[in-house]
Amino acid sequence: MDNKILYFAYGANMDKGMIRAITGNDRLVGRPAILDGYEIGIQRIDQTPKDVEKLLRNSWGDDFKTYVIYPRLGAKVKGMVWELTETERRLVRNWEFVEKEVGPRFSWYKQVLIDRVSTPEGGTIEGLETEILGDGQEIDGTIKVDGLNYEPYLMNPGEMWRIASEDLKSFLEREGRKKEIC
């Protein structure tokens, strides 16, 4: 059995429907959390790495935008902590074009380790992973996002779930698996 990985999710990934579509697991349990020292912003499709931009345009056209986080002292971002298996974490990295999973050509986000997040009850959760804005990338500086009060989805949720489910099937085929993993 896979070891569990604590994953701090923000934006659409903090929604159970989205994480279900990415991982194929409808039994995941998440806990709300706040990440200190990071700010959330919006990245337009034309600000993504060029190879990633081409792939995104195939699915989304010109209007794609997404949340990204990046280090900034004093900032905070609300999210969800999901307990994932290694395979589920790989599926999230694949969905997010994290270099560790997809290689440098299609790299978009950078995986980082987080020491701790705080919970609404005043506790902490330690030893997590997440994705942040890749090196040398820009965000749309004209749009400010309140990291503690934002809507999870910037794109149509049903369309995101559909595309994520297709991505899951492609991943399973590449891995030589014939059915859902969870």
Mean pLDDT calculated for residue range 159-163:
94
Q: What is the distance between the alpha carbons of residues 75 and 140, in angstroms, rounded to a whole number?
A: 17
Residue 57: in which H helix or E strand, if any? Answer: helix 50-60
- Report the predicted TM-score, pTM, of the whole model to 2 decimal places: 0.92
| Residue pair 125/119 in contact by the 8 Å Cβ criterion | yes
CA distances in angstroms from 50 to 55, 92, 104, 107, 177, listed in the order given: 9, 21, 12, 10, 30
Domain 4-137+151-174 maps to which CATH number in 3.40.50.920, 3.10.490.10, 3.20.10.10, 3.40.50.300?
3.10.490.10
Q: Is 10 left (phi over 0), alpha (psi -120 to 50) or beta?
A: beta
How does pLDDT run across 33-51, given as a tens digit for each residue?
Answer: 999 999 999 999 999 988 8
Mean pLDDT calculated for residue range 105-128:
92
**pLDDT tier for residue 101 given thresholds of 50, 70 and 90:** confident
Mean pLDDT in the chain? 91
Alpha carbon 58 to its chain's center: 20
Query: Which pLDDT belongs to residue 151?
Result: 97
Query: Which pLDDT belongs to residue 87?
Result: 93
Model confidence at 1: pLDDT above 70: no
Higher pLDDT, residue 55 or 65:
65
| Residue pair 90/79 in contact by the 8 Å Cβ criterion | no
Model confidence at 25: pLDDT above 90: yes
Mean pLDDT calculated for residue range 87-116:
86
- Cα–Cα nearest to 36, from 8, 14, 11: 8
Higher pLDDT, residue 55 or 5:
5
Query: Which pLDDT belongs to residue 43?
Result: 96
Query: Which pLDDT belongs to residue 177?
Result: 73
